[in-house]
Amino acid sequence: MLPLLPTFLLRLNPSNPSNHPTTHLFLPPYHTMAIPRSDEKLDYDNLFDTAEDILRPSEARELFRKHFLSLCASPALVDLMAQKETLPIFQAHSSATPKRALVPGCDRGYDALLFAQHGYETVGVEISGSAVREAKKWTGQQIAAGQKTLSPMGFILADFFEDEWLKVLGIGKEQFDLVYDYAFLVAMNPTMRKKWAKRMADHITPGSGLLVCLEYPLFRPPESGGPPHGITSSDYDALLRENFEKEMHYMPKRTHKVGEGSDMVSVWRRKEVAKL
Ligand SMILES: C[S@@+](CC[C@H](N)C(=O)[O-])C[C@H]1O[C@@H](n2cnc3c(N)ncnc32)[C@H](O)[C@@H]1O
């Protein structure tokens, strides 16, 4: 039987001798679910040679990362989070109450670890078994190597568009203060985009919750297919403006190699919801 909490999560809570999360709003256990894998949602598989590559530690995935991405948290996100204390939109996140971050399609968990280092209780939701295994391994190694960690974090093997992972965490909707999307929206067939926007609005706390998008691949003509499927900043506007205020939009000084000279960062604040 799997231990309720993986070793690296226990290491993050040295002050909790019972090994049970009592002081935090949530602490995700390592959890594996049977996931219906709908090919209509998972166009992403085509990025690699076969769907098999997604399910086992994959050379294709490895090569893709090595050549096109940085083998670390997104430099654009690192720079944004470094300025957090000076940005008014993050002000509500500095209260004493623990804040929660979510990274859907987190792959190796580089960005999830960054959020935990900035004090967010963080969960990565990933549909690929090999990615979850690698994320756990990599994060565990970073922590063992003495990387600064502040908050509990974990990874769940699940489909972001299903509700099972919320049940695993024991939470409802609108519970995340910070959500990050990089190459997740565009990994899916564009027919999923409205559903993505609705799901983001459902999960982010009205008033103060933020969605950070590293907009990519802006250089790719939408008609050229994918994944990743081309997208424009106006597409993000059209998807998000109903439920979010666009608070920041800029070209980051540093970003993953694959998006240098074209990536944009947008930061969206979830609008207040009128109480009837
Ligand atoms: C192009 S990768 C981007 C990964 C990551 N955001 C990064 O910065 O490297 C897209 C990821 O989304 C995952 N994914 C695709 N559909 C998903 C879904 N419905 N639920 C959760 N993860 C999904 C894939 O397995 C893949 O790891």
Q: What pLDDT does residue 129 have?
A: 83
Look at residue 69 in the predicted model and tell me its pLDDT: 56
Can you tell me the distance from the alpha carbon of 63 to that of 146, in angstroms, rounded to the nearest whole number? 27
User: What does the alpha-carbon distance between residue 160 and residue 176 come to, in Å, rounded to a whole number?
Assistant: 14
Instruction: Name the DSSP class of 158.
Output: S
Nearest to residue 124, comparing CAs of 107, 138, 139, 137?
107
Edge-first strand order for the sheet with 210-215 is 31-32, 153-157, 120-126, 99-104, 178-182, 210-215, 264-270, 244-250
Atom of ligand 1 nearest to the CA of 69: 9
The domain 39-270: what is its CATH number?
Answer: 3.40.50.150
Burial of 58 from C-beta contacts in 10 A (0-12 / 13-18 / 19+): buried
pTM greater than 0.85 (yes/no): no
Per-residue tokens: 96: 């004493």
Pocket test of ligand 1: the residue of 62, 126, 263 to mutate, having most ligand atoms within 8 Å of its CB, is: 126
Model pLDDT, residue 28 = 36
| Ligand 1 atom showing the smallest separation from residue 160 Cα | 20
Mean pLDDT per segment of 10 residues, for the chain of length 276 residues? 29 30 34 34 37 42 56 92 95 89 94 94 90 86 77 90 90 96 93 96 97 96 86 98 98 92 97 80
Q: Taking CA 56 as the corner, what is the angle to CA 160 and CA 112, rounded to the nearest 5 degrees? A: 45
Q: How far is the CA of 145 from the centre of ligand 1 (A)?
A: 26
User: Which residues lie closer than 8 Å to 167 by C-beta, 6 or more apart?
Assistant: none
Q: Tell me how far the alpha carbon of residue 215 lies from the centroid of ligand 1, in angstroms.
A: 15
pLDDT of residue 258: 85
Residue nearest to atom 25 of ligand 1 (CA): 128
Instruction: Please name the residue whose Cα sits nearest to atom 4 of ligand 1.
Output: 107
Ligand 1 binding pocket (C-beta < 6 A) is 41-42, 44, 69, 104-107, 111, 125-128, 131, 159-161, 182-184, 187-188
Length of the chain, in residues? 276
Q: Which residue's CA is the nearest one to ligand 1's atom 8?
A: 182
CA distances from 31 to 5, 125, 150, 152, 167 (A): 9, 11, 22, 15, 11
Number of other CB atoms surrounding residue 59 within 10 Å: 11
Q: How far apart are CA 22 and CA 15, in angstroms?
A: 11
For residue 61, the model assigns a pLDDT of 54
User: Which are the contacts of 30, defined by CB distance < 8 A and separation ≥ 6?
Assistant: 2, 3, 5, 6, 9, 136, 154, 155, 156
**Residue nearest atom 18 of ligand 1, based on CA coordinates:** 159
